[in-house]
Amino acid sequence: MTIRPMVAIRNVDKTFGSYQALDGVSLDVMPGEVTCLIGASGSGKTTLLRSVNQLHPIDAGAIWLDGELLGKRQVGQHLHLLSDREIARQRRATGMVFQRFNLFPHMTAVQNIMEGPIQVQGRPAREVRAEAMDLLARVGLADKAGNYPSELSGGQQQRVAIARALAMKPKLMLFDEPTSALDPELVGEVLAVMQELARSGMTMMVVTHELGFAREVADTVVYMDAGRIVECGAPTQVLADPREERTRNFISKVLK
């Protein structure tokens, strides 16, 4: 018996105006695996993550999450676009962490985490608060529950953002350069939380320039260039012994 992929991306195209940001991208992400996406600026990494989370529609191809087609429904030979409401429901299965944290500034750390479960899932506040406090403890911020984002460091904000995404109990976590906006000494604390999350069996897609993290944590490393996947394989292969010239150039540039 073959295992069903958590994410199956098939021939996805995405253009912005006349610019092709994704060009026939196909990829499988297996349950419990960590896939790191690397590539130069503008190669389409963010666009791919946003497509998986349906933050924008794709032009062609299909994305499946845990066996469910995203954004469309097949009726006989025809495809029907899902309503905004149904797309919002599908998004709940995916958590996303942004480069610029995007915490809600008018809510405290614990309110940020409780917002989704209470407002979107309609769960009782008492139960949600207990879970939120557990999540804060898990990311090492139990004492910061009542602080507003403006009162937290970048690294602390990003850890709250991770807890906020986890509060929805997602099947898949997307990370878009989660440490790029951080001061160097704060990168480690966020990577440590992500590493712990990977060890706990979460399926993750991570856009990152931290090749050390990719080498240590990733099951698969994907190198993208100009909207295409150029190389995809185990970190030992893609990072240490790339087959493609372009991959080799990119890695030597990042390591410099």
Residues that bind another protein (CB under 8 A): 53, 55, 84-85, 88-89, 91-92, 94-96, 98, 100, 102-108, 115-116, 119-121, 148-151, 161, 164-165, 168
- Among another protein, Mg ion, ligand ATP, none, the one that 168 touches (CB under a kind-dependent 5 to 8 A) is another protein
Interior angle at CA 217, CA 212 and CA 223, nearest 5 = 70
Q: Smallest gap, in angstroms, from Cβ of residue 45 to ligand ATP?
A: 4
**120/111 Cα distance (integer angstroms):** 13
Cβ of 125: how many Cβ atoms within 10 Å?
A: 11
Contact 206, 221 (CB under 8 A): no
Task: Tell which positions 131-170 bind ligand ATP, by CB under 6 A.
Answer: none
Classify residue 93 by burial, with Cβ atoms within 10 Å: 0-12, 13-18, 19+. Answer: middle
- Among ligand ATP, another protein, Mg ion, none, the one that 98 touches (CB under a kind-dependent 5 to 8 A) is another protein
Contact between 98 and ligand ATP by CB under 6 A: the answer reads no
**180/187 Cα distance (integer angstroms):** 8
One of 29, 34, 47, 165 touching ligand ATP (CB under 6 A):
47
Contact between 208 and ligand ATP by CB under 6 A: the answer reads no
- Among ligand ATP, another protein, Mg ion, none, the one that 21 touches (CB under a kind-dependent 5 to 8 A) is ligand ATP
Contact 218, 205 (CB under 8 A): no
**213/189 Cα distance (integer angstroms):** 12
Contact between 39 and ligand ATP by CB under 6 A: the answer reads yes
Q: Smallest gap, in angstroms, from Cβ of residue 133 to ligand ATP?
A: 34
Task: Tell which positions 39-68 bind Mg ion, by CB under 5 A.
Answer: 46
Contact 202, 30 (CB under 8 A): no
- Among Mg ion, ligand ATP, another protein, none, the one that 44 touches (CB under a kind-dependent 5 to 8 A) is ligand ATP
- Among another protein, ligand ATP, Mg ion, none, the one that 58 touches (CB under a kind-dependent 5 to 8 A) is none
Q: Which is nearer to Mg ion, 46 or 179 (CB)?
A: 46
- Among Mg ion, another protein, ligand ATP, none, the one that 18 touches (CB under a kind-dependent 5 to 8 A) is none
Q: Smallest gap, in angstroms, from Cβ of residue 31 to ligand ATP?
A: 25
User: Angle, to 10 degrees, between the axis of helix 154-166 and the axis of helix 184-199?
Assistant: 20
Q: Please report the beta strands in the chain, taking only residues with DSSP state E, as ranges in sequence order.
A: 7-16, 19-29, 34-39, 60-65, 68-69, 72-75, 78-81, 94-97, 172-176, 203-207, 220-225, 228-233
Q: Which amino acid is at 244?
A: E
Binding site for ligand ATP (CB under 6 A): 16, 19, 21, 39, 41-47
